[in-house]
């Protein structure tokens, strides 16, 4: 299916794009950041809060939901939207990344991976067919093809093999039935090798997906390699389809991704750093709210932020909550950090619309 | 100060009372249940949620806030209301109960207790003077006198000694200065001995407090002893002052307390049971939402409840969240359990107003 993406404006001085992604659960203004709801919940945050924060789309993890509570239970509940009480768009990943990063006793087979659950060692098999079936059960708006996420570092030979396997698996993914409302995205691999990125992009785009992701980034490579990987693949991605940079990233990395033509991002960073007691503040710097410096600081986390946490609570109070392990501390930091990322994307969209995208970059560290 | 309490209606068939407690941060309709915000936060719940749940007044713990973050820091922040962003009434306990139940190396002295913090062993001294000073710093609407919470079981001799010490300490508590907006409540001890309960009630009411609490209950005694303790003290408490049964209790215990003339209750039960995966349902029964029986139960926790959790989420979803330790699971159960207690009190108030209080009791297990 084509036509899910509408390009509203191209930035004159970069590859940045302003667009709209149409899904069965509503439109998504791009560039967009997707908060991660690994196991059917964006950690510590409620759907109502996410909605108030302006989250347009969230991500769910196939691997985690497959293990617990199981995709059949979620299908029985009426799908992930209904199960998790989230009526806006959901993107689900394919499960491949977690099989390679979390599961044990992995055995690669032509049609997928045999592995032992990281929770209790139960044996499972996950491949393109299984992943598509699970994502069909989940009923997500955007289904990701099953790929092999090439680890970093990889030799060119390893990376080339991984690209070939990815093409095979994505071809199989493309053939599986999905719900009529579901979009399907392909994923480009190729590690840090521009020629492999090009080869993978050509092979995957030939399969005609609704959108394309650049995978195998944010896996430990130096930041310049990440930008290079995007630059190597992007020219081969069709302009009329959305592009998604998986697992990225810091505010700066997101900006650099947008500059290179990316429309969609996801990362656990806002909620994970919140659990570590760290907040993002205007400009993209981080602040250790848990630190002693905030002990008697009765100002908000960020003067310029208008989220629930910043409107009502002081750094000193949140620091106290974090130090005594009160859940409200993590809740408030999670709300604030998501607010930061939502606001970042809003400003990026506005800057593209206003033709001030390059200047906007100078406000970020 | 007298006049903080207005008696609106007496139940014809029991000692139950319907009233209003006037405080500097607003009126409290009684009988009332006060959610417990031990360390400046009702566990897992935000002030906004508490407000939406209809919480009229919350409790803060002097001992915990004294240790972390310290009452002087809270005074510097403008008091506990401002620090915790809660603009409705707050009652603070005296710290005595926790010194006796949590602290180490306790040494009783005539003017208080020397002890070691349960957190890091730091040595402190807490007595009537210190407790009043801390509660003045916190700026709570209702300050509790510093008493000795008699442990259970206690011989009559031990209990009599404890009553005498309590009278001494509360006399000292009564003499300390407080903020002009602060009410001060005395506490009756006496363990399970009716004559000691009477003796304590006579001695404490002679000190002319704004309200009176019955302490030394919910400390392990059998339920009938709890009811007896209330019955032994209540006749000696002035009708024109509010009465508070400390640390009580289950829905049934609260009902029995109201029946015996009590106006105020507090208990960690709703939030503590939530953290254990248990919900209260209509009638006062509990439901193990974490249990296997809820695995495929797509109905709400309680059909008759209209809280955020019951309006939007299924038992199956909440069970899943609890099982994978997602914070949202505890949040939703905490919201529901507080909603249950708020609704219980609303129904009790209505039943007193309607003259159906005794019938209402038959709906509770």
Which one, of B123, B172, B165, lies nearest residue B148 by Cα?
B165
Q: B68 touching A, CB under 8 A?
A: yes
Report the share of chain B in percent with pLDDT over 70.
99
Q: A331 touching B, CB under 8 A?
A: yes
Alpha-carbon distance A152 to nearest alpha carbon in chain B (angstroms): 29
pLDDT at A54: 98
Which one, of A241, A234, A167, lies nearest residue A194 by Cα?
A234
Contact call for residues B132 and B124 (beta carbons, < 8 A): no
pLDDT at B1: 47
Partner residue facing B296 (CB), from A76, A85, A296: A76
Strands A112-116, A104-109: parallel, antiparallel or unpaired by DSSP? antiparallel
Average pLDDT over residues B142-162: 97
pLDDT at A2: 52
pLDDT at B3: 84
Adjacent-strand bridge partners of B34: B266
Distance between CA atoms of residues B44 and A267, nearest Å: 25
> Residues B139-162, buried b or exposed e (16+ Cβ, 10 A)?
bbbbbbbbbbbbebebeeeebbeb
pLDDT at A3: 84
Chain B: residue whose CA lies nearest to A67: B324
Q: B320 touching A, CB under 8 A?
A: yes
Collapse the DSSP code of B148 into the 3-class scheme (helix H, G, I; strand E, B; otherwise coil) and give the result. coil
Residue A36: DSSP 8-state: B
- Encode pLDDT of A190-227 as tens digits: 999 999 999 999 999 999 999 999 999 999 999 999 99
pLDDT at A1: 47
The answer to whether residue B190 scores a pLDDT higher than 90 is yes
Partner residue facing A316 (CB), from B43, B73, B324: B73
Q: Is the dihedral of CA B76, B82, B85, B88 positive or negative?
A: positive
Residue B119 CB coordination number (10 Å): 12
User: Pseudo-torsion of CA B207, B208, B212, B214, nearest 10°?
Assistant: 20
Average pLDDT over residues B284-311: 97
Contact call for residues B287 and B300 (beta carbons, < 8 A): no
CB pairs under 8 A between A and B: 112
Distance between CA atoms of residues B315 and B301, nearest Å: 5
Q: Do B331 and A330 touch (CB under 8 A)?
A: no
Collapse the DSSP code of A278 into the 3-class scheme (helix H, G, I; strand E, B; otherwise coil) and give the result. strand
The answer to whether residue B117 scores a pLDDT higher than 90 is yes
pLDDT at B2: 52
**Candidates A141, A147, A263, A266; catalytic one:** A266
Q: A44 touching B, CB under 8 A?
A: yes
Cα separation values, A185 from A2, A182, A225, A247, Å: 11, 10, 23, 15
Q: Which residues of chain A have pLDDT under 50?
A: 1
Q: B40 touching A, CB under 8 A?
A: yes
Strand (E) positions, A169-293?
183-188, 211-214, 243-245, 264-267, 278-281, 285-288
pLDDT at A43: 98
| Residue length of chain B | 365
pLDDT at A42: 98
Q: A73 touching B, CB under 8 A?
A: yes
Q: Do A40 and B326 touch (CB under 8 A)?
A: yes
Q: B298 touching A, CB under 8 A?
A: yes
pLDDT at A182: 98
- Encode pLDDT of A256-311 as tens digits: 999 999 999 999 999 999 999 999 999 999 999 999 999 999 999 999 999 999 99
Residue A226 — φ and ψ, nearest 5°? -65, -50
**Complex ipTM:** 0.97
Collapse the DSSP code of B89 into the 3-class scheme (helix H, G, I; strand E, B; otherwise coil) and give the result. coil
Average pLDDT over residues B117-130: 96
Cα separation values, A166 from A13, A96, A195, A215, A231, Å: 34, 10, 16, 11, 20
Q: Do A326 and B43 touch (CB under 8 A)?
A: yes
- In the residue annotation, B297 being an active-site residue is answered as no
Alpha-carbon distance A30 to nearest alpha carbon in chain B (angstroms): 28
Looking at beta carbons, which residues of chain B come within 8 Å of A331?
44, 46, 327, 331
Chain B: residue whose CA lies nearest to A331: B44
- In the residue annotation, B93 being an active-site residue is answered as yes
The answer to whether residue B198 scores a pLDDT higher than 60 is yes
């Amino acid at each position: 299916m084509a036509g899910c993406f509408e390009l509203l404006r191209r930035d004159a001085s970069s590859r940045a794009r302003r667009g709209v992604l149409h899904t069965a659960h509503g439109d998504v203004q791009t560039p967009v950041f997707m908060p991660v709801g690994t196991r059917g919940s964006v950690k510590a945050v409620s759907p109502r809060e996410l909605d108030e924060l302006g989250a347009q789309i969230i991500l769910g993890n196939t691997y985690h939901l497959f293990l617990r509570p199981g995709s059949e239970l979620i299908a029985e509940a009426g799908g992930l939207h209904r199960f998790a009480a989230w009526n806006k768009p959901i993107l689900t990943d394919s499960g491949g990344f977690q099989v390679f990063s979390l599961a044990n006793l992995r055995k690669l087979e032509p049609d997928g991976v045999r592995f032992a659950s990281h929770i209790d060692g139960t044996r499972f098999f996950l491949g393109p067919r299984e992943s598509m079936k699970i994502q069909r059960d989940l009923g997500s708006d955007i289904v990701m093809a099953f790929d092999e996420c090439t680890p970093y570092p990889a030799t060119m030979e390893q990376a080339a093999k991984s690209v070939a396997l990815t093409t095979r698996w994505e071809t199989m993914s493309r053939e599986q039935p999905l719900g009529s409302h579901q979009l399907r995205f392909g994923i480009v691999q190729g590690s840090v090798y521009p020629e492999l990125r090009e080869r993978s992009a050509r092979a995957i785009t030939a399969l005609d997906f609704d959108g394309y992701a650049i995978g195998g980034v944010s896996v430990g490579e130096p930041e310049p390699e990440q930008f290079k990987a995007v630059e190597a693949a992007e020219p081969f991605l069709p302009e009329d389809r959305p592009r998604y940079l998986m697992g990225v990233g810091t505010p700066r990395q997101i900006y650099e991704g947008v500059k290179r033509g990316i429309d969609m991002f996801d990362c656990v960073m806002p909620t994970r750093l919140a659990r570590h007691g760290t907040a993002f503040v205007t400009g993209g710097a981080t602040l250790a709210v848990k630190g002693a410096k905030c002990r008697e600081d009765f100002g908000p986390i960020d003067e310029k932020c208008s989220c629930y946490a910043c409107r009502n609570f002081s750094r000193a109070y949140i620091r106290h909550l974090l130090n005594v392990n009160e859940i409200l501390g993590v809740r408030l930091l999670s709300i604030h950090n998501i607010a930061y990322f939502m606001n970042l994307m809003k400003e990026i969209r506005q800057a593209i619309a206003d033709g001030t995208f390059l200047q906007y970059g100078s406000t970020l560290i």
